[in-house]
A and B are shown apart, each in its own frame.
Chain A
Amino acid sequence: DTEVTQTPKHLVMGMTNKKSLKCEQHMGHRAMYWYKQKAKKPPELMFVYSYEKLSINESVPSRFSPECPNSSLLNLHLHALQPEDSALYLCASSHTRGEQYFGPGTRLTVT
């Protein structure tokens, strides 16, 4: 099974809302990733967790807050977002040095 699941599929939120994106994998991967993707662009790395510890933060604004409760789950907490944050948010996982498997993404619209 090479499935990464993400919920919700779509999310519309106002600039004062707090919401969370969720990602789950059961492949035994110990590395998990959040990416942001704008239309017709490649994914941009936001965060990397390795063995449930944050290992890379690509200078992401603090209105995005990641969390890795256990080795199978990855959350992205959102607060006070801006309209330019509207994008497809992708989660991925991998063995530490293996290929990354992506989820279907959450389409986020900030109004």
Chain B
Amino acid sequence: AQSVTQLGSHVSVSEGALVLLRCNYSSSVPPYLFWYVQYPNQGLQLLLKYTSAATLVKGINGFEAEFKKSETSFHLTKPSAHMSDAAEYFCAVRSGANSKLTFGKGITLSVRP
């Protein structure tokens, strides 16, 4: 079985501040982990993925995430928030040969001017 926990429903940061969105996973086998972003009235866009190579993964738009097996975490960070980063962010896990993605409940990021 696999699951994803994204604590909280909303994060608000000032423009230029650090963005940290938390994701913890549960998986009985080595996981594949993903972060997706969804802007209003759009589909999901893949930000980055972890597939058992480097533990620090760089994605698009300046985002990165670090896989920590000991903490079962895959937190998403960006050093400096832009107004355009305001969106819904979903962490997702896929385990083993099963192609089903399990999503976290998502977290809304707001960026204050």
Q: Which residues of B contact A56 (CB under 8 A)?
A: 100
Decide: B99 and A43 in contact? CB cutoff 8 A: no
Q: Is A25 an interface residue (CB 8 A)?
A: no
List of B residues within 8 angstroms of A41 by Cβ: 105-106
B46→A101 contact, CB < 8 A: yes
Cβ of B67 within 8 Å of any chain A Cβ, yes or no, is no
Given A50-B99, A94-B99: A42 touches B43 (CB 8 Å cut-off)? no
* Given A48-B99, A100-B101, also A105-B43 (CB < 8 A): yes
Contacts of B88 in A (CB 8 A): 40
Which chain A residues border B36 with CB–CB below 8 Å?
Answer: 102
Interface size of B as a range:
20 to 34
Asked if B99 contacts A40 (CB within 8 A), the reply is no
Taking CB atoms, residues of chain A closer than 8 Å to B43 are 4, 6, 90, 102-105
Contacts of A50 in B (CB 8 A): 99
CB distance from B110 to the nearest CB of A (A): 14
Minimum distance in angstroms from B23 CB to a CB of chain A: 12
The count of residues in chain A whose C-beta lies closer than 8 Å to any C-beta of chain B is 24
Task: Please give, as numbers and ranges, the residues of chain A lying within 8 Å of B18 by CB-CB distance.
Answer: none
Given A97, A99, A103, A104, which contacts B46 in the complex, CB threshold below 8 Å?
A: A99
Interfacial chain B residues near A6, Cβ < 8 Å: 43
Q: Please, what's the 1-or-0 string for B46-61, where 1 marks a CB less than 8 Å from any CB in chain A?
A: 1001000000000000
Partner of B90, one of A4, A42, A107: A42
Contacts of A81 in B (CB 8 A): none
- A99, B90: Cα distance in complex, Å: 14
B42, B43, B101, B105: most-surrounded residue (chain A CB, <10 A): B43
A107 to chain B: which residues have CB within 8 Å? 41
- Give the distance to chain A from B81, nearest Cβ to Cβ, in Å: 21
Top 5 closest pairs, chain A to chain B, by CB: A42-B103, A102-B43, A102-B44, A104-B43, A105-B43
Q: Show 15 A/B contacts (Cβ-Cβ < 8 Å), sorted by A.
A: A40-B106, A42-B90, A43-B90, A48-B99, A56-B100, A92-B44, A97-B99, A99-B32, A99-B46, A100-B101, A101-B46, A102-B36, A102-B46, A103-B43, A104-B42
